[in-house]
Structure 1
């Protein structure tokens, strides 16, 4: 993957569903650096004054943030309406929301399962559905969905979370096959062990081991490659970052 030119994403409008997520923040900052207009969502449970959101807000006209709980229809509508009102179009969609309950399969309640699916898969499904209305007139719209590899023992035991990630991959492959030929939709799967973790992570011993070398910026560079013209021939694929 070659370095992008300073204006590689100039005038492109990008929506990132979770700017408080370390990966979402890294993608937003890199896209803004290359000239994109960036809108990032964040969940109401996130601290609006957090370092991540504060850094995005400091970009001024290049970036804006939207508080929206996209696990429900009102939040999805708010997020997409903000993009429509500000720009009337959308070129790039990055779905990176990541919610993980602290419960093993044998103890998962229906409420916990429903919340896991709603926050991880349902939100992505309907954000994408609504976002496509703003992408249909764009020449080369691109979608990147970010999931976890679920390789740690704790995540392997969380079958609700694992199922949501598997659903996202299947959804992306189906989306890539069904959209018009000018669209591209791909998945970036993150094998964790370092800084590329979500604000919703439940601490466990594995997270305090020596980092594997993958951090949020590494993941963001792969995402930007898939959003760039260099990835024009790539569609419906899963890229592992480890």
Structure 2
């Protein structure tokens, strides 16, 4: 498979979990890939090594998505290093889990900054460099439509906002041949939400397929949207959730 040969992608939060799977899948499809990370330099280096082992170029950029200047700079560094940017995947995220009464404004603002503002800033910066065929793919969450439990108000709100952002981007950038979509993963086996952790069985009970997803399941959908198969898909919210929202 080489659908993305000649393309350049930037994946935020690409050092582990879903982001790492996406970065490696896009590289297997032929793209050169830059990725951002905050604390896991070792993980980022491992992803870069895996990409380079497949014969593609890779770049790890230390950038906190809570810092809008760092986000915009990551886009500019990608363009400076690789000469272009064709695919932006806004994946970086956190998972605040706390009772409504305990949520501070600082926690609220940080969540919105990382999940929503950073996606907007990156999309705005990347769009300045993208031509026809550009792709913007935001990684949301199944909790945007159905939380299934308490203590996730802020997280769910931030991920729901990505649907509106993606639809707006689709309208604004469609005339230039650039698509924008959001992918909503369901319970996925990562270090943030291990399939064997306490409470995992309860999550499985809400899944018609009866199992957690794998990060590669999400990466496959992102790769489809990034390639020729996604050329007529824009403004869509796509669930990769094992039926959680059914």
Task: Please indicate the TM-score interval, normalised by the length of the shorter structure.
Answer: 0.7 to 0.9
Cα 1:95–1:216 shift into 2, 3 Å: same
Structure 2: which 5+ runs fail to align? 205-209, 242-246
Matched residues, number? 228
Cα distance in 2 for partners of 1:58, 1:145 equals 23
Partner of residue 207, structure 1: 200
Q: Report SS of the residue matched to 2:115.
A: helix
TM-score, normalisation: structure 1 = 0.86
Partner of residue 229, structure 2: 230
Q: Pick from 157, 161, 165: which aligns with 1:163? A: 157
Q: In the TM superposition, what whole-angstrom CA distance separates every residue of 1:31-70 from its partner, at most 9, and x where no partner exists?
A: 1112111000112xx22113x6413334335211101012
C-alpha RMSD of the superposition = 2.2
Q: Pick from 120, 141, 145: which aligns with 1:148? A: 141
- Cα drift, residue 199 of structure 1: 4.1
Cα distance in 1 for partners of 2:185, 2:61 equals 25
TM-score, normalisation: structure 2 = 0.84
Cα distance in 2 for partners of 1:27, 1:67 equals 18
Cα distance in 2 for partners of 1:204, 1:157 equals 18
Cα distance in 1 for partners of 2:73, 2:164 equals 26
- Cα drift, residue 157 of structure 1: 2.6
- Cα drift, residue 152 of structure 1: 5.4
Partner of residue 3, structure 1: none
Cα distance in 1 for partners of 2:121, 2:197 equals 32
Cα 1:124–1:168 shift into 2, 3 Å: same
